[in-house]
Amino acid sequence: MISSNAWLASMSNSILSYAPSLSSLVSVWKHHADANLTSTEKQPINLMDPQTCTYTSMCSKDIGLTMISNQPQKSPEAYLYSTLRNPMRILRFSCIERIHFARFLGSEWQANMGEIALPNGISNGSINGVNGQSHSLNGYRKSCWYEEEIEEDLRWCFALNSILHTGASQYQDIALLDTKPFGKALVIDGKLQSAETDEFIYHECLVHPALLHNPNPKNVFIMGGGEGSTARELLRHKTIDKVVMCDIDEEVVNFCKSYLVVNKEAFRDQRLEVVINDARAELEARDESYDVIIGDLADPIDGGPCYKLYTKSFYELIVKPRLKQGGIFVTQAGPAGIFSHTEVFSCIYNTLRKVFKYVVPYSAHIPSYADIWGWVMASDSPLDLNAEELDLRMRQRIKGENRYLDGKTFTSASTLSKTVRKSLDNETHVYTEESARFIYGHGKHA
């Protein structure tokens, strides 16, 4: 049996061979232990020469691969065994505790019945390791994985090409990832906000139904929307004279201006006014009223900056008075799947029913979210256009063609399943600051 240090050296060499495909300066923490494991030394080892790293200059934080053992072991081999059994052998942004890059060497190291193996096959790099078993250090798939904890017992992960940028503001942690299945993806506080390949579904659903139900929308106020995609869709409407995008986090706005090329035209449009402020304070301070107000806010999570903007008092005292006669409010309302809609979707819907006369919930599947997503549209004027009327207004008002939404699609989206309809009909919870509901996860200040 080889010594623990030799075993670690072999594993480090294996990781080092993978380093050129990473996109940031990476450190791996080697754990050294003597025969009695009386001390553990952490020695940072630079995995990458900055001259060969394509994205080094774009990354603001180091990433560390940390192997953790909760209990002291009797021998170095047992220590290593315990380390590799730990399911959180992760690549982690030091500034973003909720973002994990699991399965660093392809899929996870597996530990069963005293055996540790790399599940993607055996190659010529086998060594004798824990309990005398033969294990490969070279039979791994060369990819890093993003992992998001959707629920306590449910995680969603996909492979990465690279980590383009990470950062942190006083409100939120931010990352831009280049993912294999979904292209560039914006992650805030460990939650995927939008992905390049399917963000059009979310933003077309958020923007166009409300704009089309309004007879002649001229000015719109966006709460949040820092990435610019909501403004982009609004500015496609020929009737629009002015869009105010109010986001609390200047770091997010500047980040998206710099890295999300798809929205550069929107940020340059003279009709767009970008304001850095709390949306509640900004609406209170303004005298003007709006044809449409859009809530493109981060999900209500414990410790996040936005949950107070989903409350009945906010809708009743701030939003509604700022709408013109016949004005429409629409908000993203979180997961709306068979099992997830009771997190916040149903109570946001019920809360808006207490404030507006007409309320329409609707939903669509967003592949990168791994769930159906929900929106709620509300007004004191009827929201009853049929599919043909919606299609006619799209042809008359919108520049270019939608990729996802048309009249029939909206009719389908607003026809919820029996399970969800029944839950919404029976929902009694009203969203307040004192009785807030949250989706799973934690904000920076939780």
Question: Looking up tokens 């050296």, which residue turns up?
Answer: 9
Residue 114 exposure: Cα atoms within 13 Å on the Cβ side: 6
- Kindly state the helix (H) or strand (E) to which residue 166 belongs, with its residue range: strand 154-168
Please say whether the beta carbons of 309 and 295 come within 8 A: yes
Please say whether the beta carbons of 142 and 117 come within 8 A: no
For 47-118, where are the E strands, in sequence order?
Answer: 63-66, 90-93, 100-101, 110-112, 115-117
Q: Which amino acids are annotated catalytic?
A: 296
Residue 383 has phi, psi (to 5 degrees) of: -120, 75
Amino acid at 141: R
Say which residues have a Cβ less than 8 Å from residue 96's Cβ, sequence separation at least 6.
166, 168, 173, 174, 175, 187, 189, 190
Beta strands at 126-128 and 183-188: parallel, antiparallel or unpaired: unpaired
